[in-house]
Structures are given as structure tokens and as C-alpha cells.
């Protein structure tokens, strides 16, 4: 399958129910349609990394409302997992013992931040692989793509970790508080140079991105910002005086570096004047700035578009702007910019479950890599074997990077182009380099797996089949595997062909597979039969994962 054919399949599915100029006229009124395994899988694939059979079974006892509420219910403990640890050479980073966390300790020698950063990224992948039954990991990655830092550019892995903590803590909280915390975060202060922003040498970098990317945006057409260049300059003055205390790894306000003059903003901000202050901790002017920015409806609209493109589809036409984005933005404002009510309204809406919005998103590389491991229940080493676990997670991360999604290091402050670069958007994920790499990854995981230091992670061919409803029935097995791995249904003719060519060895008798499976269950020591069963399952999974439909969510 070449890229053109793949993208054609994706585009055709995104338009399969639309006869109007708009893709769909559905809005955010509550969904009242069927609530079956198919809808549960759609919800889980969009809000988590993959839809595991066990998770689908778990949510099948709930109503749609209950399932969405459960996914959005993240406890404080879940937002604060145990931090990354030193999994690398004991002769490096001598300030920290092997197996202990490094996130609170400054190194005593140079050249260890790369090891720490690799540890952090591996740990982050591990959080995704072992995620709870909620939206937190998918949402944390979305906010990383919104409040971007490039960890290598930041340079200090402790700041990178503190940034990740800020994303997790605020992922489902209040956006205004989120923006304040990300503004004063050590990683962000370093990344966009606001730690260098002083009254005598103002740096406008963060003040610009705060408005252009993080809050106000550039309008529905993404053409030009509604605020002025002078608004950027005035915001930069408000933000002067913040530094990083490297000894304690915290942000601090230095009043001697702060511009205490009054800051006059444009008519876009209703000619607001932020009064210069000196005798405080600097947070009051930041609060005034954010209050002014959040008074503009543009903020709610911009963030809702970002959420929509991440969880639903990239194309926002006039009907979707009117029927989905605007009502969600109103909910955002009505709830004082709390994030959870917006997500709840979206995931419970007729629009989210509209047929046109199923199987239309090209998976990002992290969804491909982590989703495969979760859906096939790939077994990782025991938690006590942290060295091997970090090795495996690092390998998964390297695959994401090779497919052009480098966790922790998007290409620039705007994030990954798949979420903003018109007109291609998510089609950017698929090209002559990345599509073969996706197939190579799935081929490897379904055959030999990845092995290091005597430990292998690989798809257990028969264990996955055994989780299906009736693995001894070739018709049911094909139906089930297709329903869990593909979001676009195959025709009955295609499924019959899969069954005949792969499971029945070209024969017309279903009992051929049933007998082989039953023999495997009763006598797994029958090497010849077991090899036949495993080979056929390998061929079935491999074929399905090489279909263009497998790349869609």
C-alpha cells in the first residue's frame, strides 16, 4: 500500500457520511445512539493509548455517561506517579545511587543531563504503557504539544521533569491556573528565555508565545493575531524579573530586575492598564495579565480548537466552528475555564460519536507504538527489574522518534506540524519514510520482538487470541480481531477471504481451524500443531496491521 492509497482511504472515511459541503452538521447535544463494543472502542482509542480487551470489558457494564465520567476522574495520586530513577551506569552521575531518583539532586559532574533526560523520556513512555483507566496520559501528551518545550534545548533534566509534573497536575484542572504555573515553570522559563527578561533588557519571546500559541491564538483562520505588537512588548514588561534559582531548582522573582512602570495595552484588551508593582512577589502583575488575557473569548475558542484537533479531527469548517467549537467555548467560559466540563461535553456529544468522526484520525507515532503494546497485552519485565524496563521503554521511544514524533522534543514551539500545518495536518505523519517504519515495528513485535540482556518483549500470539470471545471459531475470531484492531469495518467478503487464506489454509472447512485451536488448548506440547496455530495467528495479525486502516483511530 503506497502513501497515496493510504491517504485516499483516510480521506474517504472522513467523508463517508457527508453529503453537504460540511463534513457533518452534528453538534454537542448528548449522544443517544447505540452503546456497544464499537462505541466503547472508539471512545477508548481516542482518550487512551489503544483499547485493550480488558478495558473494553470493564467499561461495557457502564452507560456512556458513566464511562466518560470514569475516564475523566483522575485522582491526585494518579497525577503524581513515582519519579524517574537512575537506570544508567553507576560510574556516572555519582550524586545519585543506581535505582534512586535524580529529580531532586543536582549533579556533581558535567555531562550527565543527557542520561537523566533519557531516563525521563523512558519513564514517560512507561507511564503511558502502564496507564490507568483514564485520560491522563493522552491528555498530558496533548498539553505537551500545546505548552511546548524542547527538553534538549532546556538542557536541565530536573527542569524538564518539573515541566512534566506541571502538565500532569493541571491536565484536568483550571486553564487559567495552568497557564500561570506553566509561565513560572523552570522548564518554560529556560526554554522561552523569560528567565533573561529584565527591565533593562526585555525579552519578548515568552510574552509573544503566551498570546499567539498558549492563549489568544490567531483566530479561526490562523491568519493573524488580534492583539498588537505593542501588546507583546507590554506583556514582556509585566513578565520581567523572574529567574531560576539553580541551587534549589525553583523559579524566583527578583524585584530589582522588574519593570515597575504601568503597562498600557491596546483596544483589543479594552485599553487595559496594568499597574506596575515592586513590593510583592511578582505574581500580582502576572495575575493581572492573565485576567486581562482570559477576558477575551478568543482564549476559549483557541483552546477548544486545539482539543478538537487532538481528539476528534483536524478539519474545522464553518459548521463545526458554529455547532461544536463555539458551544464548547461557551461551556469553557461558563465554568471559569475549568477543563473537565469541556471534555465531558465533547466526549458525550453526538458529534464525537458521529460515524464521520470514527476511524478518520491518523494515529500519531506514540499511539502506534504504545497502543500496540497495550492492545496486545505485551508483557514487560517485573517492576523490580527497572533496568530492563527502562531499556524497553527507551526502545519504544526510539521507534516513536524514528517515526517523527520525538517525545519531549517537538520540532519547535508550535508543536508537531500534524496538529497545525494546513492543509495536510495529520497526513504529515505518513510518508515514504515513516509508513515503512510503522510496518517494520509491528512486523517485529509480531515475530521475534525486541530483545536485550536476555529479556524479550513480543506479542504473545495465542494469548491475544485467547482473549477473544470464541477463538476456536474462525469466523468469530476474525470478526473480533478486526473489531479491536481496525476502526474501519472490513467487508464480509474481505473477512471471509482472511479466514480462508490465512486460518483455513485455503480450505473451505471451518473445522480445520477449530480442530487446530482445540488441540493447541488441550495439548500445547504438540509442537507441530502449536507451530501451525502460531504461524497462522502471526500471519493474521501481521496482515491486519499492514492494512492502511490499521493506521487510523
CB atoms within 10 A of CB 463: 12
Interior angle at CA 182, CA 179 and CA 185, nearest 5: 150
Residue keyed to cell 455547532: 323
Average pLDDT over every residue of 335-343: 98
Cα dihedral 58→374→439→485 (10° resolution): -10
Pairing relationship of beta strands 242-245 and 250-253 according to DSSP bridges: antiparallel
Contact 260, 276 (CB under 8 A): yes
DSSP 30: B
d(CA 179, CA 527): 60
Give the pLDDT confidence score for residue 1 in this predicted structure: 43
CB atoms within 10 A of CB 179: 23
Give the pLDDT confidence score for residue 8 in this predicted structure: 52
Give the pLDDT confidence score for residue 520 in this predicted structure: 98
d(CA 409, CA 349): 33
> How distant, in Å, are the alpha carbons of 241, 284, 285 from that of 280?
11, 7, 9
Burial (CB count <10 Å: 0-12, 13-18, 19+), residue 453: exposed
Q: Give this prediction's pTM.
A: 0.95
Q: Give the ranges where 256-409 is alpha helix by DSSP (H).
A: 283-294, 297-311, 318-320, 326-334, 340-347, 365-375, 386-402
Give the pLDDT confidence score for residue 221 in this predicted structure: 76
Closest CA to 392 of 456, 460, 461: 456
Closest CA to 25 of 398, 330, 318: 318
278 pLDDT band, cuts 50/70/90, is: confident
Q: What pLDDT, in 10s, does the model give residues 61-93?
A: 999 999 999 999 999 999 999 999 999 999 999
What is the residue-averaged pLDDT of the chain?
95
3-state secondary structure 373-413: HHHCCCCCCCCCCHHHHHHHHHHHHHHHHHCCCCCCCCCCC
Burial (CB count <10 Å: 0-12, 13-18, 19+), residue 141: buried
**Neighbouring residues of 197: CB distance < 8 A, sequence distance ≥ 6:** 203, 205, 206, 207, 236, 239, 240, 241, 242
Q: Give the ranges where 423-460 is alpha helix by DSSP (H).
A: 434-446
Largest CA distance in the chain: 85
**Cell numbers representing residue 416 in the block:** 508537531
Residue keyed to cell 500443531: 529
18 pLDDT band, cuts 50/70/90, is: very low
Give the pLDDT confidence score for residue 388 in this predicted structure: 97
For the cut 60, the answer to whether the pLDDT of residue 5 exceeds it is no
Residue keyed to cell 475549568: 338
Q: What pLDDT, in 10s, does the model give residues 151-197?
A: 999 999 999 999 999 999 999 999 999 999 999 999 999 999 999 99
The share of the chain scoring above pLDDT 70, in percent, equals 96
Burial (CB count <10 Å: 0-12, 13-18, 19+), residue 460: middle
Q: Give the ranges where 467-522 is alpha helix by DSSP (H).
A: 474-485, 492-498, 511-522
First to last CA, the chain: 18
Q: Give the ranges where 72-204 is alpha helix by DSSP (H).
A: 113-129, 136-146, 151-154, 157-170, 175-183, 186-191
d(CA 179, CA 337): 11
Q: How far is CA 178 from the centre of its chain?
A: 18
Burial (CB count <10 Å: 0-12, 13-18, 19+), residue 403: buried
Give the pLDDT confidence score for residue 19 in this predicted structure: 34
**Cell numbers representing residue 70 in the block:** 470514569
**Cell numbers representing residue 138 in the block:** 493522552
Q: What pLDDT, in 10s, does the model give residues 426-470?
A: 999 999 999 999 999 999 999 999 999 999 999 999 999 999 999
Average pLDDT over every residue of 226-233: 97
Amino acid at each position: 500500500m503506497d502513501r497515496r492509497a493510504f491517504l485516499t482511504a483516510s480521506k474517504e472515511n472522513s467523508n463517508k457520511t457527508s453529503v453537504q459541503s460540511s463534513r457533518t452538521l452534528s453538534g454537542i447535544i448528548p449522544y443517544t445512539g447505540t452503546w456497544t463494543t464499537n462505541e466503547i472502542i472508539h471512545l477508548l482509542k481516542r482518550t487512551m493509548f489503544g483499547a485493550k480487551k480488558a478495558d473494553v470489558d470493564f467499561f461495557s457494564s457502564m452507560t456512556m455517561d458513566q464511562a466518560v465520567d470514569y475516564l475523566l476522574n483522575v485522582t491526585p495520586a494518579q497525577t503524581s506517579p513515582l519519579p524517574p530513577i537512575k537506570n544508567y551506569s553507576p560510574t556516572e552521575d555519582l550524586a545519585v545511587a543506581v535505582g534512586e531518583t535524580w529529580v531532586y539532586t543536582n549533579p556533581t559532574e558535567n555531562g550527565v543531563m543527557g542520561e537523566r533526560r533519557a531516563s525521563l523520556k523512558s519513564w514517560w513512555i512507561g507511564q503511558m504503557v502502564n496507564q490507568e483507566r483514564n485520560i491522563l496520559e493522552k491528555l498530558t501528551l496533548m498539553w505537551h504539544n500545546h505548552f511546548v518545550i524542547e527538553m534538549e534545548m532546556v538542557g536541565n533534566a530536573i527542569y524538564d521533569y518539573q515541566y512534566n509534573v506541571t502538565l500532569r497536575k493541571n491536565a484536568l484542572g483550571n486553564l487559567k491556573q495552568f497557564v500561570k504555573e506553566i509561565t513560572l515553570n523552570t522548564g518554560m522559563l529556560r526554554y522561552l528565555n523569560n528567565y533573561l527578561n529584565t527591565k533593562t533588557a526585555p525579552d519578548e519571546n515568552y510574552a509573544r508565545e503566551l498570546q499567539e500559541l498558549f492563549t489568544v491564538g490567531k483566530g479561526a483562520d490562523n491568519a493573524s493575531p488580534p492583539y498588537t505588537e505593542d501588546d507583546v512588548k507590554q506583556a514582556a514588561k509585566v513578565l520581567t524579573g523572574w529567574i531560576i534559582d539553580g541551587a534549589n531548582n525553583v523559579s524566583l522573582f527578583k524585584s530589582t530586575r522588574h519593570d515597575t512602570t504601568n503597562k498600557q495595552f491596546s483596544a483589543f484588551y479594552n485599553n487595559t492598564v496594568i499597574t506596575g508593582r515592586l513590593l510583592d512577589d511578582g505574581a500580582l502583575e502576572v495575575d493581572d495579565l492573565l485576567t486581562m488575557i482570559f477576558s477575551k473569548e478568543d482564549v476559549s475558542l483557541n483552546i477548544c480548537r486545539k482539543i478538537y484537533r487532538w481528539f476528534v479531527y483536524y478539519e474545522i469548517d464553518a459548521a463545526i466552528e458554529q455547532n461544536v467549537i463555539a458551544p464548547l467555548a461557551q461551556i469553557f467560559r461558563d465554568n471559569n475555564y475549568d477543563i473537565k466540563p469541556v471534555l465531558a461535553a465533547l466526549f458525550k456529544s453526538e458529534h464525537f460519536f458521529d460515524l464521520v468522526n470514527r476511524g478518520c484520525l491518523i494515529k500519531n507515532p506514540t499511539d502506534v507504538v504504545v497502543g500496540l503494546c497495550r492492545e496486545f497485552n505485551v508483557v514487560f519485565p517485573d517492576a523490580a527489574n527497572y533496568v530492563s524496563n527502562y531499556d524497553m521503554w527507551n526502545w519504544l521511544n526510539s521507534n516513536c522518534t524514528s517515526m517523527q514524533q520525538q517525545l519531549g522534543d517537538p520540532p519547535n514551539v508550535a508543536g508537531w506540524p500534524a496538529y497545525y500545518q494546513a492543509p495536510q495536518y495529520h497526513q504529515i505523519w505518513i510518508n515514504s519514510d515513516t509508513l515503512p517504519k510503522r510496518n517494520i515495528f509491528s512486523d517485529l513485535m509480531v515475530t521475534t520482538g525486541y530483545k536485550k540482556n536476555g529479556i524479550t518483549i513480543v506479542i504473545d500470539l495465542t494469548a491475544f487470541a485467547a482473549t477473544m470471545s470464541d477463538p476456536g471459531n474462525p469466523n468469530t475470531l476474525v470478526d473480533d480481531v478486526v473489531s479491536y484492531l481496525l476502526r474501519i469495518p472490513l467487508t464480509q467478503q474481505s473477512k471471509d477471504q482472511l479466514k480462508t487464506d490465512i486460518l483455513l489454509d485455503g480450505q473451505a472447512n471451518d473445522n480445520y481451524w477449530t480442530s487446530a485451536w482445540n488441540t493447541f488448548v488441550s495439548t500445547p506440547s504438540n509442537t507441530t500443531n502449536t507451530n501451525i496455530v502460531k504461524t497462522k495467528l502471526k500471519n493474521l495479525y501481521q496482515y491486519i496491521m499492514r492494512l492502511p486502516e490499521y493506521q487510523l483511530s
